Amino acid sequence: MIATMKSFLTVLLLCCTAPAMAQQWVRYAESDESLMYYDSLRTRKMGDTAFVWDLHDLKRAGTDPAGKSYQSVLYAVEYHCRARKWRVLGTSRHAQGMGIGKPVSEEAGAMAFTEAGPGSRAEQLFNHVCE
């Protein structure tokens, strides 16, 4: 119960501070589908836990379950550095590239932790936020 409340409060804090703070997007990876960035100004590390905004700027527009078109996806991500695990805390899809404008759809709720495997994009971002 306490862990769930802690995760909820973390997501709430991250979501509330998102529009109020400046961003400094640093590119860390590229795939056939998107360019991936993390926000170096809003990355926070508290002990063994790091929180980061992960932005995927799509090369081709996507469509959410409600049929709304979006060009970028912003993920609130939590890393447990020693365990090399990560999870998504929340997601917002934006009609414009680079997370610009109001979200066309949002999802809150922490996913299960996943290992940041060798050579994965999660490991590439892990190397930036947990160093």
- Per-residue pLDDT reduced to its tens digit, 25-78: 999 999 999 999 999 999 999 999 999 999 999 999 999 999 999 999 999 999
- Asked if 41 and 13 count as a contact pair (C-beta separation under 8 A), the reply is no
Structure tokens at 4: 């769930």
Residue appearing with tokens 């078109």: 69
Q: Measure the N-to-C terminal CA separation of the chain; round to a whole number of Å.
A: 30
Please report the pLDDT score of residue 86 as a whole number: 97
For the segment 98-111, what is each residue's pLDDT rounded down to a tens digit?
Answer: 999 899 999 999 99
CA-based torsion, 104, 110, 112, 115: positive or negative: positive
Please report the pLDDT score of residue 92 as a whole number: 96
Q: 3-class DSSP state for residue 121? A: helix
Q: 3-class DSSP state for residue 1? A: coil
How far is Cα 44 from Cα 38, in angstroms, rounded to an integer?
A: 12
Confidence of residue 23 (pLDDT cuts 50, 70, 90): confident
Name the residue ranges covered by the structural domains of the chain. 2-129
SS (H, E, C) 47-76: CCEEEEEEEEEEEEEEECCCCCEEEEEEEE
Residue appearing with tokens 């936020």: 129
The whole-model pTM stands at 0.81
For the segment 80-128, what is each residue's pLDDT rounded down to a tens digit?
Answer: 999 999 999 999 999 999 999 899 999 999 999 999 999 899 999 999 9
The one-letter amino acid at 119:
G
- Asked if 125 and 38 count as a contact pair (C-beta separation under 8 A), the reply is yes
CATH of domain 2-129: 2.40.128.710
Confidence of residue 16 (pLDDT cuts 50, 70, 90): very low
